[in-house]
Amino acid sequence: MERIEVMISEEEVDKRIREIGEQITKDYAGKEILLICILRGGSFFMCELAKRINLDVKIDFMSCSSYGKGTESSGHIKIIKDLEEGIEGKNVIVVEDIIDSGRTLSHLMDLLKSRQPESLALCTLLDKPERRVVEVPVDYIGFQVPDYFVVGYGLDYDQRYRNLPYIGRVHIDDEVLK
Ligand code: IMP
Ligand code: MG
């Protein structure tokens, strides 16, 4: 039997997103920012974050594949959907659900940097530092989580559980998913 154990409650997640929104509002005072949502996992976080930033905010979306059906990064990254508009001269913040091995983001940040934005920052809801294989500088982190496979708030397990309003870990029978 599969069940989800709450690790970070809805209230905690919402509170932390407000704090990050306030921080970004201060850090980018007087500027317009472009949030780039990494689909599909970053979508729930980006929508909530955008509402907490008190500046001119534009949004765009990008999708790349790194994971197959399981829980391990394949190391192969493919751009499935690119941005609608150019980012040259813009203040860009990439919004991601989780940084695990760092492979996806390291590749993506290099690609975006080559398009010459005015500034480029990375904001992630969750960070799993124990799993890092490739170093990626992260500017805003919601929560650091231990090495469990987590779901909710955009994160999926075989496409399920993205819609949970909290972060949880998956129990299958008596085992916790890693
Ligand atoms: P990375 O390239 O290993 O950093 O993988 C990042 C991507 O893997 C994230 O954007 C997620 O889509 C997925 N991912 C990594 N860890 C988890 C997890 O614990 N739960 C759900 N998805 C995860
Ligand atoms: Mg993702």
**What are the structural domains, with CATH classification, of the chain?**
9-145 (3.40.50.2020)
Rounded Cα distance between 1 and 174, Å, is 8
Q: Is 155 in the pocket of ligand 1 (CB under 6 A)?
A: yes
Give 74-78 contacts, CB < 8 A, sequence gap 24+: 75/103, 77/103, 77/104, 77/107, 77/108
pLDDT digits (tens, 9 = 90+) for 108-142: 999 999 999 999 999 999 999 999 999 999 999 99
pLDDT at 104: 87
Residue 127, ligand 1, Cβ within 6 A = no
114-120 CB contacts, 8 Å cutoff, 24+ apart: 115/86, 115/87, 115/88, 116/87, 116/88, 116/89, 117/34, 117/87, 117/88, 117/89, 117/90, 117/91, 117/92, 118/89, 118/90, 118/91, 118/92, 119/91, 119/92, 120/92, 120/94
102 lines ligand 1 (CB under 6 A): yes
151 CA distance to ligand 1 middle (Å): 10
Cα(42) to centroid(ligand 2), Å: 6
pLDDT in tens, 138-162: 999 999 999 999 999 999 999 999 9
Q: Which residues carry out catalysis? A: 100
